[in-house]
Amino acid sequence: MIDLFVIKVGGNVIDNPVLLQSFLKKFADVKGKKILIHGGGKIATRIGDKLGIESKYVDGRRITDAETIDVVTMVYGGLVNKQLVAKLQANGCNAIGLTGADANIIPAYKRPVKEVDFGFAGDIRVEDVQAAPLKALLDAGLTPVFASLTHDGQGQILNTNADTIASSLAIALSKYYSVRLIYCFEKKGVLHDASNDDAVINLIDRVIYKELREDNVLTDGILPKLENAFAAIESGVAEVLIGHADDVQSNTTDTVAGTLIR
């Protein structure tokens, strides 16, 4: 019996006002305890551009220099996070906006420099996550909403991948709850056929996963997501679900519209 939903909503949803509005309304109506984790979308890049700060990427990953960490702290931790909170409040959801620095919930460490210096990028050790204060907030009837930021415990905010924050929180909270970790994006789930958006695979377990890989059904982009999903399950998360932001309601019930992984 699932008693906590840890829900990550992707940047493409944040960037789309119509989809976001509809998602927030549906998320607010999800029954039971829930946590939202949001990416930042393209707003940080847009504001960084206006401030004359160039966005730098290596292999699709943002390089977070000193100017960039200030921009993402402002935009993810301030603008996006507080607008989401205000809109959830308007929809009757008692949201509380947080970063990993708040209540020291997600201590992280600056990624060591190897071939690439990612700057103020924070990596998480799941065993460091402080689940107890988060449980206290949930027990007080609040819905925590996390921006994808952590801190190093020495006073520095760090930029951390939102998917990683979602899975780390889901794993850490599994000691208190039976958790379904839900990744919401702009597709309905893992597809049998990449050209058919409705060809959703409703259930994947290790056996089915092996068959799908042998049949070359899965696209490259979905493989790391599924690997992460199985890693979360091996670390205590009851179920992982990949689905459309618009299906968040049904994806918190037993009759899922997306892809359930367990």
Tokens read off for 107: 């201590």
Q: Closest approach of Cβ 32 to a copy of itself, in Å?
A: 18
Closer to a copy of itself at the Cβ: 22 or 156? 156
159 is in an annotated binding site: yes
Closer to a copy of itself at the Cβ: 120 or 185? 120
Q: Where are the beta strands (DSSP E) in the chain?
A: 4-9, 34-38, 56-58, 61-63, 95-98, 109-110, 122-123, 143-147, 149-151, 157-159, 179-185, 203-204, 239-244, 259-261
Residue 106 touches a copy of itself, criterion: CB under 8 A: no
**Integer Cα distance of 170 and 84 in angstroms:** 21
Residue 191 touches a copy of itself, criterion: CB under 8 A: no
Tokens read off for 108: 């992280």
Q: How far is CA 89 from CA 8, 39, 94, 141, 167, in A?
A: 18, 19, 6, 13, 25
Provide the phi-psi class of 2: left if phi over 0, else alpha when psi is between -120 and 50, else beta: beta
Residue 110 touches a copy of itself, criterion: CB under 8 A: no
62 is in an annotated binding site: yes
Residue 66 touches a copy of itself, criterion: CB under 8 A: no
12, 42, 55, 103: residue in contact with a copy of itself (rule CB under 8 A): 103
Would you say 57 and 15 are in contact if contact means Cβ atoms under 8 Å apart? no
Residue 47 touches a copy of itself, criterion: CB under 8 A: yes
1, 17, 52, 198: residue in contact with a copy of itself (rule CB under 8 A): 52
40 is in an annotated binding site: yes
| Footprint of a copy of itself (CB under 8 A) | 47, 50-52, 70, 73-79, 81-83, 85-87, 89-90, 94-99, 101-104, 133, 136, 140, 142, 149, 151, 153-157
Q: Which residues are annotated as a binding site for substrate?
A: 40-41, 62, 159
